[in-house]
């Protein structure tokens, strides 16, 4: 559908009773961020008026694959190129002497969760952390992994599907927008 895109958001807020800012990931499909603001507020109601976006991107290209949003009925009649899916992984790791669990967000195109995890283990974050052995005291682990279609809001699941195709030529990755974006700024 022309103009409809998959968006990936890193949301932040400091809910009542918390001492530090909290973060969560949110994926949704729409024609603009402004259109998705009500869905963001519904996703994290505890954020109230303090919820904001710390990072966002349109998800169009991932590791040599194009991610296209199509109306739900049209995907059923199209022959998929393969059984690949778009996965979101949240890697967590520790560094000696640092009072923090560091996180690295990864998008992966793979046929299953195990293949997505294998690809994530090739990232710089995983290879260059204090230890790449998850069984050690300091290591990197996959804290969370989801097929993106499974964690979309219900209104997106009802109307859209993600269609993934391999790109023949190398294209630049999607632009990542970083900063503190108030929801009313869109």
Residue 134 confidence (pLDDT): 44
CA 111 – CA 166 distance, rounded (Å): 13
Query: What digits encode the pLDDT tens for the residues 65-85?
Result: 999 999 987 655 444 555 899
Mean per-residue pLDDT over the chain, rounded: 86
- Annotated domain spans of the chain: 5-182
Which uninterrupted H or E stretch holds 46?
none
CA 119 – CA 114 distance, rounded (Å): 9
Strand bridging mode 177-182 / 52-58 = antiparallel
State in Å, rounded, how far the first CA of the chain is from the last one.
22
Residue 131 confidence (pLDDT): 47
Query: What digits encode the pLDDT tens for the residues 81-106?
Result: 558 999 999 988 877 788 988 888 99
Global pTM reads 0.87
Question: Quick check: 129 pLDDT over 60?
Answer: no
Do 129 and 140 form a contact (C-beta atoms < 8 A)?
yes
CA 123 – CA 63 distance, rounded (Å): 12
DSSP string spanning 144-159? EEEEHHHHS-HHHHHH
């Amino acid at each position: 559908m022309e103009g409809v895109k998959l968006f990936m958001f890193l949301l932040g807020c400091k809910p009542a009773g918390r001492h530090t800012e909290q973060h969560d990931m949110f994926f949704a499909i729409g024609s603009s961020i402004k259109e998705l603001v009500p869905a963001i507020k519904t996703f994290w109601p505890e954020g109230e008026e303090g919820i904001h976006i710390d990072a966002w991107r349109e998800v169009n290209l991932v590791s040599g694959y194009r991610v296209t949003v199509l109306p739900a009925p049209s995907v059923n009649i199209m022959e998929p190129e393969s059984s690949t899916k778009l996965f979101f992984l949240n890697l967590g790791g520790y560094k000696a002497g640092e009072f923090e669990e560091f996180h690295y967000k990864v998008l992966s195109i793979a046929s299953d969760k195990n293949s997505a995890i294998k690809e994530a283990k090739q990232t710089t974050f995983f290879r260059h952390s204090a230890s790449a052995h998850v069984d050690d005291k300091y290591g990197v682990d996959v804290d969370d992994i989801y097929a993106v279609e499974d964690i979309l809001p219900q209104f997106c699941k009802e109307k859209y599907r993600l269609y993934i195709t391999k790109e023949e030529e190398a294209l630049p990755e999607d632009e990542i927008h970083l900063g503190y974006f108030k929801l009313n700024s869109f």
